[in-house]
Amino acid sequence: MTQTAVEIEGVRKRFGAATALEKVDLNVGTGEFLSLLGSSGCGKSTLLRIISGFEQPTEGSVRIHGTDVTRQPPERRPTNMVFQRGALFPHMSVRENIAYSLKLKRWERSRINDRVDEMLALVRLEGFADREPGKLSGGQAQRVALARALAGEPRVLLLDEPLSALDLKLRQQMQLELRAIQKRLGATFIFVTHDQTEALVMSDRIAIMNNGRIVQHGTPRDIYRRPNSVFVSDFIGATNLLRGTITAVEGKRVVLRTDSGTFHALASDMAVKRGERAALSVRPEAISLRRDPGATPEGYSVAGLVDEIIYQGNTVRVGVRAASGAAIWIEGRGDDFDGLSSGTAVVLSWAPDAAILLREDTE
Amino acid sequence: MGDDMVRLRKLLPAAFVGAVLAYLYAPIAVIVIFSFTTSPRLSMPIEGLTLDWYTSALSNSLISTALRNSLLLASVSALVSGVIGAAFAFGLVALKRPRLRASLLGASMLPAIMPLLVIGIALAVFFRLMHVQQGLLNAAIGHVLVSLPFVVLTMNARLETFDFSVLEAARDLGATPGRVLRDITLPLIRPSIIGAALLAAALSLDEFVVTWFNIGSQLTVPVLVWGLMRRGIDPSINAIATMLLALLVCLVAASALLNRKKSK
C-alpha cells in the first residue's frame, strides 16, 4: 500500500442554506492520478477548493501527508493549482510567472533560472521564457500554468478543468502529455473534470460525484464495467437502461419485468427483493444484432425494428425500437451493419454477464 | 437634375452633422479665439493676436489664489475619490451576491443624477447644523461627494473584466494577502485607479454649484469667473476659461488613455 497523500474525512460544506458537499470521505495515494468527475454543480470544484484552502469546510478535515491543513490558508499548503483558464499574471513574462513561487521562497536567482528552464523544457516551451502571457495560445498558456504550479514542487497538484477551454484535438494531446508528466514526476494529481472520456483516459482512479457526494470510486475499468447506480452507468459512457420490477429472485439470479420484455440478470453483490423497482444496464457495444429470429437466448434478448443508423466513421450506432416503443442503441464497427436499413426486423442479444442490475436511484 | 438631387442627398447628412458639431463647439471656439485677440471687445474682424490677457490673468492675485484653490481641491478629489472609489468598486465586484452588488452600485450612483443644487444646499445646511464654518474643507468634501460616483462607475466598468483567479493563483503559489496586493492587484489596476482619479480632478476643477454654496468667502476659478462675469465680460475671463479648458481636456484625455490601456 502506498502512502496516503490526501485524506479527506467527513467533509461537509454549506453555502448559506445550500449544501455543496455532503459528508465526503476520500483518500488519495501518493503518486496517484485521481479524477473528480461530475456534472456542473456536483461539488467537485468545491472539494478541490477545500483541498487547496480557498474554501473552509463546514465540518470535517483535510490532511496532506499526515498534517492537518484544514485551517491553513492556501499560501501555507503544500498544494498548487492549475486554474481553468490559466490565471497567468498578465503583467509578468512567462519566466516571471513560473519563477513567482520560487521568488517568494527566496531562492537564489541562478537557482530560480535553472528551475524555470527545467520547467519550460518539461512542458516543451523552451523558447517562450520572455513571452507575455497575452501572446500565448490557449494550449501554451495552460502549459505555462502547469509549469508555474509544478515549479515549487508541490506535494499535491490540483487541476481545475484545465483543458476544458481547449479544442478537441489539442485537449486529447494535452491529456496524454499531462499523464506523461505526472508519471515522470511520480507526483500526486487531483484532476477535476466534467468530461468522462478525459477521466477514463487519464486517471488511475476516478471518484464520481453527484449532488455533493462521491457516489462511486474505483479504477476507470471498474467504474465502466461495474457501475453501482443508474446515475453512474448513465454518466460514464453510453448505456441502455431497461427499467422494470423484480418478479423473481432465485439466489443470485433475478428476473426483471419491463415494458420491453422479461429479462434475466445477476444480482452481483446487491440484496434485492421481489417487487422492487430496478434497472438493467446494457452497454451498446455489448449487444449483438441478428436479422434472423432463430433461437434467441431467453431473458437476454429483445426483438425490434431498426429505427436510425448513425454513421460515425470508425463506428456505427444503430437505434432499434422494441415492440414496447423503447429505443435501444447498439454500437459496432462500420461493416457490422452493412445491409441494414430503417424498418429491418432484428433481434438484439447480449451475454448474461453483460447486463448489470442496478437499483433505481432514490432522489 | 437627377445629379443635383443625388448630390443634395449626399450633402444633407454631412451638413446636418456639421451643424450639430458647430452647435456643440462654436461657443467654446469663440472663447478660445477671443482669448488671443487684441481687441477688448468681442467683435469681428479680428484685429491682431496677443497673449496679454493671459499675462494679466496670471498676474491678478485674485485669479492666482482661485487657481491655487482649484488645483488644491482637484488634487484632494483625485486622491480621496480615487482611493475610496477604487476600494469600493473592488469590494463590489468581489461580492458574490449579484443582486446586492447591483443595488450597492445603484446606491453609489444615485448622487450622480441628483441635482447639484440639492446636494449643494443639503451640504450647506448639514454643515450649518454641525456648526462648521463655510470654507475650503467644506468644498473639498462636496467635491469628493460629487466625483465619487463617477470614480466608482469607471472602476466598476474596468473591474468587470478583471480576472480574480489571478489573485487566487498568487495566494496558491505562496503569497500572503499583502504580497498579493503589492505584486498582483495594484500593478494590474493602477492605470485604472489613476485614470479614475484624473476624472475626479477634472470634475472638481469645473464644479460650481456645490462649491458656491459651501466655500464661503474663498474662491475657486469657476466661483471667481462667475463673480467677474457679473461685472461684465473681461477678455481675461476668456484666457482663464481657455486655460481651464486645456487643463480639463488633458485630464480627460489622460484618464481615457489610462483606462483603455491594460483593459484587455
ipTM for this prediction: 0.81
pLDDT at B62: 84
Does residue B232 register a pLDDT over 90? Answer: no
Edge-to-edge strand list for the sheet holding A18-29: A18-29, A4-15, A59-64, A67-68
Radius of gyration of chain A (CA): 25
b vs e for A237-272, b when ≥16 Cβ sit within 10 Å of the residue's Cβ? bebbbbbbebeebeeeebbbebebbebbbebeeeeb
Rounded to 5 degrees, what are φ and ψ at A288? -110, 155
Q: A-chain residues within 8 Å CB-CB of B166?
A: 87-90
Q: B-chain residues within 8 Å CB-CB of A107?
A: none
State whether residue B188 sits within 8 Å of chain A by CB: yes
Tell me how far apart the alpha carbons of residues A233 and A269 are, in angstroms, rounded to a whole number.
16
Tell me how far apart the alpha carbons of residues A358 and A349 are, in angstroms, rounded to a whole number.
19
How far from the centroid of its chain's Cα atoms is residue B123's Cα? Answer: 20
CB A356 within 8 A of CB A281: yes
Count other Cβ atoms within 10 Å, centred on residue A73. 13
Rounded to 5 degrees, what are φ and ψ at A67? -95, 130
Q: A-chain residues within 8 Å CB-CB of B179?
A: 104
Shortest CA distance from B168: residue in chain A: A54
- Under an 8 A CB cutoff, do A80 and B170 touch? no
State whether residue A277 sits within 8 Å of chain B by CB: no
Establish if B94 belongs to a structural domain: yes
pLDDT at B32: 85
Cell readout for B144 is 469628493
Q: Is residue A328 classed as helix, strand or coil in its secondary structure?
A: strand
Does residue B261 register a pLDDT over 70? Answer: no
Establish if B184 belongs to a structural domain: yes
Question: Where does CATH 3.40.50.300 sit in chain A?
Answer: 4-230
pLDDT at A265: 85
Tell me how far apart the alpha carbons of residues A160 and A82 are, in angstroms, rounded to a whole number.
6
Establish if B194 belongs to a structural domain: yes
Task: Return the residue matching grid coordinates 496586493.
Answer: B181
Q: Considering only residues 134 to 173 of chain A, which have any Cβ-Cβ distance to chain B shorter than 8 Å?
A: 134, 148-149, 152
pLDDT in tens, A287-345: 988 887 666 777 888 888 898 888 888 888 999 998 888 889 999 887 777 778 888 88
Size of interface A-B (CB pairs under 8 A): 64
Q: A-chain residues within 8 Å CB-CB of B184?
A: 89
Q: B-chain residues within 8 Å CB-CB of A79?
A: 172
Shortest CA distance from A99: residue in chain B: B173
> Of the candidates B173, B176, B188, which has its C-beta nearest A90's C-beta?
B188
b vs e for A278-296, b when ≥16 Cβ sit within 10 Å of the residue's Cβ? bbbbbbbbbbebeeeeeee
- Residue of B165, B173, B181 to mutate for A, most A C-beta atoms under 10 A: B173
CB B127 within 8 A of CB B138: yes
Tell me how far apart the alpha carbons of residues A354 and B142 are, in angstroms, rounded to a whole number.
79
Establish if B197 belongs to a structural domain: yes
Establish if B250 belongs to a structural domain: yes
Shortest CA distance from A82: residue in chain B: B169
- Under an 8 A CB cutoff, do A75 and B176 touch? yes
Q: Widest CA span of chain A, in angstroms?
A: 79
A231-362 architecture in CATH?
Answer: Beta Barrel (2.40)
- Under an 8 A CB cutoff, do A83 and B174 touch? no
* Count of domains for chain B: 1
Cell readout for A128 is 517562450
CB B166 within 8 A of CB B99: no
- Per DSSP (E only), the strands in A194-344 are 205-210, 213-218, 240-250, 253-258, 261-266, 277-282, 287-290, 301-311, 315-322, 327-333
- Under an 8 A CB cutoff, do B165 and A83 touch? yes
The model carries a pTM of 0.79
- Work out the average pLDDT over B150-176: 91
Third-level CATH fold of A4-230: Rossmann fold (3.40.50)
Q: Widest CA span of chain B, in angstroms?
A: 79
pLDDT at B121: 93
Tell me how far apart the alpha carbons of residues B175 and B181 are, in angstroms, rounded to a whole number.
9
- Under an 8 A CB cutoff, do A104 and B179 touch? yes
Angle at A352 between CA A350 and CA A354, to 5 degrees: 65
State whether residue B181 sits within 8 Å of chain A by CB: no
- Under an 8 A CB cutoff, do B169 and A81 touch? yes
pLDDT at B263: 43
Closest C-alpha among A137, A153, A150, A144 to residue A94: A144
Q: Considering only residues 82 to 141 of chain A, which have any Cβ-Cβ distance to chain B shorter than 8 Å?
A: 83-85, 87-91, 100-101, 104-105, 134
- Work out the average pLDDT over B78-101: 90
Establish if B52 belongs to a structural domain: no
Tell me how far apart the alpha carbons of residues B145 and B157 are, in angstroms, rounded to a whole number.
20
Q: Which residues, in sequence order, are bridge partners of residue A329?
A: A319
b vs e for B174-185, b when ≥16 Cβ sit within 10 Å of the residue's Cβ? bbeeeebeebbb
CB B191 within 8 A of CB B261: yes
- Residue of A50, A75, A98 to mutate for B, most B C-beta atoms under 10 A: A75
pLDDT in tens, B5-58: 888 888 888 899 999 999 988 888 888 887 887 776 666 676 777 888 888 888
Establish if B95 belongs to a structural domain: yes
Q: For residue B108, what are the domain limits?
A: 61-263
Tell me how far apart the alpha carbons of residues A173 and A67 are, in angstroms, rounded to a whole number.
36
- Under an 8 A CB cutoff, do B163 and A74 touch? no
pLDDT at A363: 46
B225: CATH:
1.10.3720.10
Measured CA distances, B8 to A304, B16, B17, B20, B21 (Å): 75, 12, 14, 18, 20
Tell me how far apart the alpha carbons of residues B169 and B179 are, in angstroms, rounded to a whole number.
12
- Under an 8 A CB cutoff, do A104 and B166 touch? no
Question: Where does CATH 2.40.50.140 sit in chain A?
Answer: 231-362
- Under an 8 A CB cutoff, do B165 and A84 touch? yes
Does residue B264 register a pLDDT over 60? Answer: no
pLDDT in tens, A68-109: 999 999 999 999 999 988 899 999 999 999 999 999 999 999
pLDDT in tens, B199-208: 899 899 889 9
Q: In which residue ranges of chain A is pLDDT below 70?
A: 1-2, 269, 293-295, 361-363
Share of chain B above pLDDT 70, in %: 94
- Work out the average pLDDT over B240-257: 85
Closest C-alpha among B70, B81, B76 to residue B247: B70
- What is the distance in angstroms between the Cα of A351 and the nearest Cα belonging to chain B? 50
Closest C-alpha among A33, A30, A34 to residue A4: A30
